[in-house]
Amino acid sequence: MSNEKPKDVFTTGLNPPFQLDPVIEAYKPGIDLSLIRHNLSLSVDERFEQLMALQRLADELREAGRRAKQ
């Protein structure tokens, strides 16, 4: 019997050891890490400003959809 761990199992001090989720691993190549790094470089206030701008856009789109239905 070998003491080698599978490549997708990590020892974190937790029981049982942490194992990578194959579904998450399948999505990772499509993630743009530069966007994550950029957002993490922003201050909390800047992140909230972006969030509020996105919410305003969502409100405008929702209202435009209501007007289009009439």
Please give the residue that has the higher pLDDT: either 48 or 11: 48
> Averaging pLDDT over each range in 4-13, 20-29, 40-49, which range is the top one?
40-49
Q: What is the mean pLDDT of residues 43-58?
A: 97
User: Is residue 53 in a domain?
Assistant: yes
Let me know if residue 1 belongs to a domain. Answer: no
Report how many domains make up the chain: 1
The residues, any chain, with a CB within 8 Å of residue 50's CB and separated by 6 or more, are: 39, 42
Pairwise CA distance, residues 29 & 32, whole Å: 8
Domain-embedded: residue 50: yes
Q: Does 4 reside within a domain?
A: no
Give tens-digit pLDDT for 11-28: 666 666 677 888 988 999
pTM over 0.95: no
Amino acid at site 68: A
Lowest mean pLDDT of 18-22, 24-28, 38-42, 66-70, name the range.
18-22
Show the domain range for 47. 9-69
Distance from C-alpha of 54 to C-alpha of 3, rounded to nearest angstrom: 51
Q: What are the backbone dihedrals phi and psi of residue 9, each rounded to the nearest 5 degrees, phi first?
A: -115, 130
